[in-house]
Chain A
Amino acid sequence: MVDVSAAGLLQRRSLVPALLADRGDLLVIAGLGAPAWDITAAGDHLLSFPMWGAMGGAALMGLGLALAQPDRRVLVLTGDGEMLMGMGALATIAVQAPKNLAIVVLDNERYGETGGQVTHTGLGVDLVGIAGASGFTNLCRVTQPAEVPALRDAIHTALGPFFASVKIDPANEPLALPPRDGVYLTTRFRGALLGDAAHLE
């Protein structure tokens, strides 16, 4: 069961392991900051690509990956600040309509890495609404623990492009840092997905 804070909000460090439970051959891109730490705390994985920069690019990396691997499921797990920086991505992805791509925004309504400044989602901007207006037809809003198992299943089975926002508690959790060498992260992911032939490309 996913934990809830005193404020009644989902706690990210029990939410993310629930979303990644029995991940199978799921391919995971995590946006920079806390989502990258969250997937690491849940257990680093060869088929996870935690980003340390390129803010605004996570969902689009998911697009390129989903188009290249149409038979695999791709999850982009990112924060509200990271998603807000690249909102045009929602239009670009909706136009391409990859059936195997799920984007899940962990929305704490804060820039958590820089002092907790409020983001636009804390001031009324609705990312799910923007995704819907962009052409995503499969949308989900999660605020309660009971809704999490269905979201976990949707990541694996929903007809994409799928977009979900999960409102989470803004507390900063202990750092759980993944490897930060981009060449290592890229090479291990390609090797795990494509085999040794990837290194002879």
Chain B
Amino acid sequence: MESEDWPDQLFALLQAHRVRQVVVVPDAGHARLIRRVAASNDMRLIPLTTEEEGIAVLGGAWLGGQRGVVLMQSSGVGNCINMLSLAATCRIPVPMLITMRGDFGEFNPWQVPMGQATPTVLEAMGCTTGRADTPEDVAPVADAMLRLAFNTYRATACLIGQRVLGAKTFGK
């Protein structure tokens, strides 16, 4: 499998981990994975107005016996802070696949504060994080974070570095 196929590898991982609810605020880096989920009969794509909604949706899914995953960009992590209390207090599996902004070669200064704070914020809320900075690393790190979430009942994050995605340059 080619290294640029990592979004398809992520989709295969969601299938392998029996994920049924996929909660999303879009990022360009997740566009291909979101299309795969939308076309799937096994997974329900749940677009959100803000990322914290997704943490609560996954809490309800878990109460009802279904597994879920959050897809978002790093700027959404700040929106989730207090809602992550739910995962920490109730030991609910909340795996997050997070595409990084404000990271490797960022053009937009407004993305940098939250991007740089993302690992710190997640760790402050008790979330275990792993990071992939090459296409080859994305699937193994995501698999590890999905396993950690579902097998040990906690919030985890796979941070997909901007070096993998390429920085948006606005034509500059």
Contacts and interface: CB of A to CB of B under 8 A. Distances in A.
B13 interface: no
A89 B55 CA distance: 12
Contacts of B92: 186
Contacts of B57: 60-61, 63-64, 92
Nearest to A88: B49
B146 to A, nearest CB: 14
Contacts of B47: 92, 95
A91 interface: yes
B49 A68 contact: no
B91 interface: yes
Contacts of A193: 63-65
Contacts of A182: 86, 89-91
Interface in A37-95: 49, 52-58, 60-69, 86, 88-89, 91-92, 95
B38 interface: no
B48 interface: yes
A68 to B, nearest CB: 3
B64 A57 contact: no
Contact of B21 (A27, A67, A88): A67
Contacts of A186: 62-63, 90-92
B112 interface: no
25 contacts: A27-B63, A49-B63, A53-B85, A53-B86, A57-B52, A57-B56, A58-B56, A61-B56, A63-B57, A64-B60, A64-B62, A64-B64, A67-B21, A67-B60, A67-B61, A88-B49, A92-B46, A183-B89, A186-B90, A186-B91, A190-B62, A190-B65, A193-B63, A198-B65, A201-B65
Given A92-B57, A198-B65, 20 more contacts: A27-B63, A54-B55, A54-B59, A57-B56, A57-B59, A60-B60, A64-B58, A64-B61, A64-B63, A65-B64, A66-B64, A68-B64, A68-B65, A86-B52, A88-B48, A88-B49, A89-B49, A89-B53, A182-B89, A186-B90
Q: Which 8 A-B pairs have the closest CB atoms?
A: A64-B60, A68-B64, A88-B49, A57-B56, A182-B90, A182-B89, A60-B56, A61-B60
